[in-house]
Amino acid sequence: MRVQVTLRNGRKLMTNEATARVLRSRNLVADAGYSTRDMASVPVAENLDAMSAEELHALAKERGVTVHHRAGADKVRAALREAG
């Protein structure tokens, strides 16, 4: 499961649970009550079919979904739906 961790320098990092635990144990997170966000709970946009390829690439980047930069809209839509 992917989580977002805020580091002490203010940088936000998308990583898995295990890496977040290591960062917390080494006191590299911003505060003791570390900030994480469960990526699986973020709903997928209902109107993926109406979005252009550029918008889909931006949404994939925002959600941390890795797709090839020249992937077409159909492949990006499929990757976003698969991710969550």
**73/37 same-domain check:** no
Tell me what pLDDT residue 2 has.
Answer: 87
Q: How confident is the model at residue 74 (pLDDT cuts 50, 70, 90)?
A: very high
Pairing of strands 12-16, 2-6: antiparallel
| pLDDT, position 35 | 47
Q: Does 82 share its domain with 48?
A: yes
Same domain for 37 and 48, yes or no, is: no
Tokens of 7: 């580091």
Determine the structural domain holding residue 10 and report its residue range. 1-42
What pLDDT is recorded for position 5? 87
DSSP assignment of 22-72 equals: HHHHTT-BSSSS-----GGGSPPPTTGGGS-HHHHHHHHHHHT----TT--
| Residue 61: pLDDT over 70 | yes
Same domain, 69 and 49: yes
Per the structure, the count of domains in the chain is: 2
The reply to whether 35 and 54 lie within a common domain is no
Confidence of residue 13 (pLDDT cuts 50, 70, 90): confident
Same domain for 37 and 51? no
What whole-number distance in Å separates Cα of residue 42 and Cα of residue 8? 25
Question: How many beta carbons lie within 10 A of that of residue 56, not counting itself?
Answer: 23
Residue 7, pLDDT above cutoff 50: yes
What integer pLDDT is reported at residue 47 of this predicted model? 82
User: pLDDT-derived band of residue 16, with 50, 70 and 90 as boundaries?
Assistant: very high
Query: Is residue 35 domain-shared with residue 63, that is, in the same domain?
Result: no
Is residue 38 domain-shared with residue 14, that is, in the same domain?
yes
